Amino acid sequence: MLKIVSLLFILLLSISEANVLQDAIDRAPVGSIIKLPPGVYKGKIVINKPLSIIGQGAGVIIDGEGEGTVIRTKGSFITLKNLTIINSGERHDKLDAAISMVEGKQCEISHCVIKDTLFGIDMQMVSNSIISHNSITSKDLDLGLRGDGLRLWYSNDNIVTKNTLVRSRDMVVWYSHGNEISENTGEYCRYSLHFMYAGKNLVRDNKYRYNSVGIFFMYSQDTVATGNIIRSSLGATGMGIGLKDVSNFTLENNTVIYCAQGIYIDRSPFEPDTNNWILGNNILYNSEALHFHSLSENNIIKDNVIKGNIEDIVNDSRGSKTNDNEIVGNYWDNYEGFDKDGDNVGDTPHKVYQYADQLWVYNPDVKFFYASPVISLLNFLAKLAPFSKPLFLLEDAKPKVKIDAMEG
């Protein structure tokens, strides 16, 4: 009798340790749809053939049990939908993630909840796929130790839409071209969206707030960012939109509000004989509206609303040529001219100078007094009776006087 009980116990133990979901995947014919009823399924599963896994209703949980990546896929025509994926490992060197998807096309990850995983969705060499309506949260670690919520690496022509990243690290698009990044939300992350060596991407109608940086573009080209709202980028150097060494970019109809730096421009455009277009954006109530670093010329800055910022223009490089940009038709709330003929164009150009109050640009210690009454007084006196020649930064030859027509 004892031998029978022991045998039964061993049998039950082996069944409990079996990965039922992996067994179902291995047995399923190519192209199968596995519909999972609510329950908890063991993770560390591998999919390497065309297959769909779809959760039926709420409560379909795939648990990585704190080790490795929860779901790995390799190949095309793989769909993961309506799943809750939790509890990956914590190793950065192995990119422990909720989902690792490699070398595929026409795949889909949608309506999944990802939480308590180091990395969220890691896509490597995946094209023509859809990542949509997913909610992603990293492990409860310090910001720099979290994994990226969503990574595109050498992945082209994908649609990434209506995802939510909260308390993750970054969403990155590296060496990836032709992607549409639209209607996503990011909160309490580091970089809501970070591009590097990426071209011909469309970034539209995303909402990012309470992150260190909203959108940062590096070493990239031929991209459009439109209709995005970036607000309250956190920290002393919190940035709305950054451009570093990028060419042939269009930033249009975006709103950047309540950030330390609104739009940051560093050696952009980078390629000779190219332009960047910064058109029709609302740059509102930031510490700095436009921050120029290093040599940045041939940008076309037109029809923007620049309102309520502490500083409209900051140029932190003495040798740069801020005025060698085409700057025309913007609304500046501190424009001091008139519009006698009522054509909504100022009768005189709007000129921006760097006065004594911007000593902090070259001496960080002075920034302690930034926007203080003493610096304001110093600035007033410098304008009234300059004791040194102010530095000319830029001129808008046709400043807008009203913004009602533009805001409508």
Q: Which residue has the tokens 């249009």?
A: 252
Is 2's pLDDT higher than 60?
Answer: no
Instruction: Give the mean pLDDT of 270-294.
Output: 94
Whole-number pLDDT of residue 6: 35
Chain centroid to CA 39: 34
Whole-number pLDDT of residue 204: 98
Of 106-110, 113-117, 270-274, 388-392, the least confident: 388-392
Residue 45 to residues 30, 70, 78, 162, 190, Cα–Cα distance (Å): 16, 6, 13, 26, 30
Whole-angstrom Cα distance, residue 310 to residue 305?
14
* pLDDT digits 0-9 by tens, 212-240: 999 999 999 999 999 999 999 987 779 99
With beta carbons less than 8 A apart as the criterion, state whether 82 and 104 touch: no
Check residue 75 and report its DSSP letter. Answer: S
Residue whose C-alpha is closest to residue 54's, from 23, 20, 21, 83: 83
Fold of 20-167: Pectate Lyase C-like (2.160.20)
Whole-angstrom Cα distance, residue 103 to residue 328?
47
Whole-number pLDDT of residue 379: 60
Confidence of residue 5 (pLDDT cuts 50, 70, 90): very low
Whole-number pLDDT of residue 367: 56
Q: Which residue has the tokens 């952009």?
A: 268
Whole-number pLDDT of residue 15: 44
Instruction: Give the mean pLDDT of 29-54.
Output: 96
**What predicted TM-score, i.e. pTM, was given to this entire model?**
0.87
With beta carbons less than 8 A apart as the criterion, state whether 240 and 262 touch: yes
| Amino acid present at 179 | N
Q: At CA 330, angle to CA 349 and CA 385, rounded to 5?
A: 40
Is 1's pLDDT higher than 90?
Answer: no
Whole-number pLDDT of residue 317: 73
Express as a percent the part of the chain with pLDDT over 70.
85
With beta carbons less than 8 A apart as the criterion, state whether 123 and 149 touch: no
Is 339's pLDDT higher than 50?
Answer: yes
**386 upstream amide cis, omega within 30 of 0:** no
Instruction: Give the mean pLDDT of 181-203.
Output: 97
Confidence of residue 68 (pLDDT cuts 50, 70, 90): very high
With beta carbons less than 8 A apart as the criterion, state whether 284 and 307 touch: yes
More confident residue, 371 or 285: 285
CA distance between the termini of the chain: 85
Q: Which residue has the tokens 């501190």?
A: 334
Q: Which residue has the tokens 């006196």?
A: 381
Whole-number pLDDT of residue 61: 97
C-alpha dihedral over 88, 93, 95, 101, to 10 degrees?
A: -130
DSSP-assigned states of every residue in 122-136: EEEEEES-EEES-EE
Element of type H or E holding 243: strand 239-244
Domain limits, the chain: 20-167
Q: Which residue has the tokens 């209709």?
A: 227
* pLDDT digits 0-9 by tens, 361-390: 555 555 555 556 665 666 666 566 665 566
More confident residue, 355 or 328: 328
Q: At CA 234, angle to CA 214 and CA 323, rounded to 5?
A: 60
Whole-number pLDDT of residue 236: 72
Average confidence score pLDDT of the chain: 88
* pLDDT digits 0-9 by tens, 249-278: 999 999 999 999 999 999 999 998 999 999
Whole-angstrom Cα distance, residue 23 to residue 45?
9
Dihedral sign of CA atoms 359, 364, 370, 375 in order: negative
With beta carbons less than 8 A apart as the criterion, state whether 325 and 299 touch: yes
Residue whose C-alpha is closest to residue 304's, from 324, 327, 286: 327
Cβ burial of 344 (10 Å; 0-12, 13-18, 19+) is middle
